[in-house]
Amino acid sequence: MSKNAARYVCQECAAVYSKWNGQCTECSAWNSLIQENIPQTTPKGMSGKKGRAIELVPLKGQSEKPPRLVSGINEFDRTTGGGLVAGSALLVGGDPGVGKSTILLQVAAALSKQVAVAYISGEESIDQLRLRADRLAVTDASVQLAAATSVRDIATTLEGSGAPKVVIIDSIQTMFVDNIESAPGTVSQVRTSAQELIRLAKRQGFCVILVGHVTKEGAIAGPRVLEHMVDTVLYFEGERSHQFRILRAVKNRFGATDEIGVFEMGDAGLGEVENPSALFLSDRNTQVSGACVFAGLEGTRPVLVEIQSLISPSQLATPRRAVVGWDSSRLAMLMAVLDTRCGLALGGGDVYLNVAGGLRITEPAADLAVVASLISSLSGVPLPPETIFFGEVGLSGEVRPVAHTDVRLKEATKLGFMNAVIPTQRAKNKQTLRDHGLNIQEVEHVAEIAARFGPKSENAVQELRVDSGKS
């Protein structure tokens, strides 16, 4: 008869300890160790019994593309790579209240016109789900609802020939397996529940969508292995104060990664934004210094967004650095480049950087736009209207070319921009650039940007230093 042995498992990184500690030594998280009881069994290796031989096949061969279920919500279908794949598992994460349940109920209602869809909630009752459906005006959809948390009951319900083709589990942290002696939401329960649901989806051939809670750092709560188990990982980004929501694919075995879908939160739920560039630039003021338009690329979609910066004399011993929508360490690097390579004193003032619209930029192509924005804010000179910037900046101040220049310029032309400041291109690409009809200025070093848009004399730089010293 087996005895129950106690172990302590970190809820952040899944590290296992024999006794409780205040801090996890693996991920440095405090008060994250929770006791879990597991049956103590004698470990057994492989006996002398032989296994069956595995068939090996050549790399080259005929493979069919998996059929997809297209919801008709273009932004969602774009993010998933063209629709849902039968037998696949998707993990959707996001902050509380960002709209995960809302968008998935809308997707379920759209897919129910083609196939059978089941929405199983472990957090809300049937009445609460119906109230949300009434608000979204999807009560006529033939979506099957259930409120359950037992994985065994769910598996029994979904087995058989009449199983739905799409199953939504909201959320995976509320599910539990009854033969594991730990509370729902713990590492063992989350991992085992997800494993059983994914195995069932692969066997029955339906698509399962798992909703995952996120930690305060923004990562999906539970073991990291959860993201490795599923086929697609989607993050729902956005601030509650902003009406824009970004659905971003960070992993997709059936499509491109870093693909985004843009939605706008309204009274009737989440609406699609077909042209996010025009939306992000709708309230732009061209007469303000420190505002620069960046031609970015999110997955396969070009997106134009405004980068805003503000430099003011600091009243603190350590100047403030506030960054929203970009990497703060990369901002510090660019400020060091401008100080060392161009002689611009940015370190003495408070620096604020914001990406308008709630979008988060990760690609290094935004370096040149950030540099132009900082120089414009320092000098007080607005950048030329109808001008876009993009390019990567190195530590020596050189401006390096980036990928998909043609796509970025084409998007700028479509939105009515007239000028573009870009890295120096190769000779074979110069003719292609002229075809867009833009006035293109190629730069090799950030000093060219500083000479054109920076302070007209050393007095402007000296004034900022004097003001910072007085404070």
Q: What angle do CA 103, 258, 436 make, to 5 degrees?
A: 110
Answer positive or negative: Cα dihedral of 167, 171, 173, 179: negative
pLDDT computed for residue 352 by the predictor:
96
Q: How far apart are CA 294 and CA 388, in angstroms?
A: 6
pLDDT computed for residue 460 by the predictor:
39
Q: How far apart are CA 187 and CA 120, in angstroms?
A: 21
Please check whether residue 443 is in contact with residue 449, taking contact to mean a CB–CB distance below 8 angstroms: yes
Q: How far apart are CA 336 and CA 123, in angstroms?
A: 49
Phi, psi of 145 (to 5 degrees): -105, 155
Residue recorded with tokens 């979008």: 359
The residue ranges of every structural domain in the chain are 4-39, 70-274, 279-470
CATH number, domain 70-274: 3.40.50.300
Which two tokens mark 29? 């998280």
| DSSP assignment of 91-145 | EEEE-TTSSHHHHHHHHHHHHTTTS-EEEEESSS-HHHHHHHHHHTT-TTS-EEE
Q: How far apart are CA 71 and CA 133, in angstroms?
A: 17
pLDDT computed for residue 26 by the predictor:
82
pLDDT computed for residue 103 by the predictor:
94
Which two tokens mark 168? 């939504």
pLDDT computed for residue 193 by the predictor:
94
Which two tokens mark 209? 């969508």
Phi, psi of 370 (to 5 degrees): -65, -40
What is the assigned CATH class of domain 279-470? Answer: alpha beta
Q: How far apart are CA 333 and CA 374, in angstroms?
A: 13
* Dihedral in degrees, nearest 10, Cα atoms 329, 335, 338, 339: -120
If DSSP codes are grouped into helix, strand and coil, which group holds residue 82?
coil
Q: How far apart are CA 237 and CA 248, in angstroms?
A: 7
Q: How far apart are CA 353 and CA 187, in angstroms?
A: 38
DSSP secondary structure letter of residue 432: H
Q: What is the per-residue burial (b if ≥16 Cβ within 10 Å, else e) of 294-327?
A: bbbbbbebbbbbbbbbbbebbeeeebeeebebbb
pLDDT digits (tens), the chain, 471 positions: 445 567 888 887 778 888 888 898 888 888 888 887 665 554 556 666 778 898 998 988 887 777 899 999 999 999 999 999 999 999 999 888 888 999 999 999 999 999 999 999 999 999 999 999 999 999 999 999 999 999 999 999 998 778 899 999 998 999 999 988 888 888 889 999 999 999 999 999 999 999 998 776 666 656 567 888 999 999 988 876 677 888 999 999 998 888 889 998 888 889 998 888 887 887 787 789 999 999 999 888 899 999 999 999 888 888 999 999 999 999 999 999 999 999 898 888 999 999 988 888 989 999 999 999 999 999 998 998 899 999 999 999 999 999 999 999 999 999 999 999 999 987 666 666 766 778 999 999 999 999 988 776 344 334 433 343 443
Domain pair 70-274 / 279-470, same fold: no
Burial of 227: CB neighbours in 10 Å, binned 0-12, 13-18, 19+ = middle
Q: How far apart are CA 29 and CA 84, in angstroms?
A: 36
